[in-house]
Chains A and B, each alone.
Chain A
């Protein structure tokens, strides 16, 4: 079973994403901030990371930099409600940039499937 690390500070969004991805047959481990996320990454064999951009403590882009420092080829999806960071060159290091909305979740699922398969 493919394992996905979800770093998302908003509880409800975290539950929603986790449940949706689990329903699609993925195993999801979740963290509410960048630091916890990086710790989970160290101790788990993760296939893909989904990260929000605006988070307390460590920002999403900083987290992204650290993730890629640990696992250079790991697929990463930025999932956020802020479109403006799309032009930030750090975000280009991610494999996808998806805008959060009520329909964004199906886009997210489709992207996950595309990147790591079902």
Chain B
């Protein structure tokens, strides 16, 4: 291109760059347009341009660079540029431009970091960053810039360093040089650079303002989304609480008539026994008693009824307690063809809350019955050891697989199609929290399950309030 065309070309370039900058709010694209524009007329203008940003901690760090890294790349890029028919606008639009760019130069630029606090008093960079001046460094003056920049300034004979003001503050610095073609940087090129960088500063101010607005907007949207989620959770909680209140209400409403039914059935049972009437009456009354007791157990588990109450402990004669309990349970034991073996020494007394203890036995014995088949054995034994009473409930049923065993006492864990999975959780709470005891399970698949719990014997010296 002839020198007389230079001004015309510069005006064309300036026009294209300014229009490109006005059309975008994207920081990356702005930088791309500026650096591409500055190096577009490479054979007559700057061969390389790089931008560095100043961050809040006063670090000058590499942003982006365009241009060849060495002589070979320079020749290749300029040959490609000459043969390329792409317009400037197309180059701004990027895609094919990448293939023309050196990959090494931008990578090296990106890795530059320099702490501005270390800048010597006489460094020319001070004029740029603190006095808002454009400087032209010729010959050895190039090496007055910090060492971190020497690797690239040494490829040129002249380097311009210029500031960019973003939102009223010098926030970036551009290096542009004449590497590999070594043509002089003219005052016209410096004016050109100055105009381009003024526009760049404005464009970047807008872009950063837009970015921060968008970021704020996104935060507001995220907060809104969070708020919505919390509201939904709250609603779900309310629904859950309402369901809880309804089931508590229903459970209480059912408990009352159930107590009446069970009470009358017990009376019928007693009368039938005394009068020696048709044995089916006693048997059927016993079934009613048993079923009512089972329903009460379900409700108690649901309401976590008994362990809300402090244990009202008293010394209980274990054998009579179990005999009375078995009176009711005997029907389902007999009906399932299970052999029951009670091995409880006469002298054993257990210091416990009788209601809670019966819940423990009902839960454990019901579970055992459900895991056994016709002809299996259920053995309940007890003894004393080191200040504790131990009770063992052993069945010869199906046993519990190891993976189930791990979760056995977790609330709402169940393997049954019926039930809510609170029974064993309740048993553990009653034994361990309410009575200071311990419960353990030992089970082998197809061999059976042994559940053993211990409860501390009554402490000596707390003799008052003995109820039996």
Contacts and interface: CB of A to CB of B under 8 A. Distances in A.
Interface of A: 10, 12-13, 16, 19-20, 81-83, 86, 99-107, 114
A82 B255 CA distance: 9
Contact of B262 (A82, A102, A114): A102
Interface in B211-258: 252, 255-258
Nearest to A104: B259
A104 B262 CA distance: 10
A101 B267 CA distance: 14
Contacts of B289: 102
A9 B240 CA distance: 32
10 contacts: A16-B260, A81-B255, A100-B259, A101-B259, A101-B262, A102-B292, A103-B358, A105-B263, A105-B266, A114-B467
Interface in B266-306: 266-267, 289, 292-293, 296, 305
B266 A10 contact: no
A22 to B, nearest CB: 11
B314 to A, nearest CB: 11
A105 B259 CA distance: 9
Contacts of B252: 81-82
Tell me the interface secondary structure of chain B in the complex.
helix
Interface residues of B, number: 25
Given A10-B256, A16-B267, A81-B252, A103 B309 contact: no
A107 B353 CA distance: 12
A94 B12 CA distance: 103
B266 A99 contact: no
B355 interface: yes
B296 A101 contact: yes
Nearest to A52: B256
A103 B293 CA distance: 8
B308 A83 contact: yes
B45 to A, nearest CB: 88
Nearest to B467: A114
Nearest to B290: A102
A77 to B, nearest CB: 14
Contacts of A114: 467
Contact of A16 (B263, B305, B308, B355): B263
A54 to B, nearest CB: 9
Contacts of B292: 102
A117 to B, nearest CB: 16
Nearest to A110: B467
A109 B420 CA distance: 33
B256 A100 contact: yes
Contacts of A16: 260, 263-264, 267
Nearest to B261: A102
A100 B255 contact: yes
Contacts of B309: 83, 86
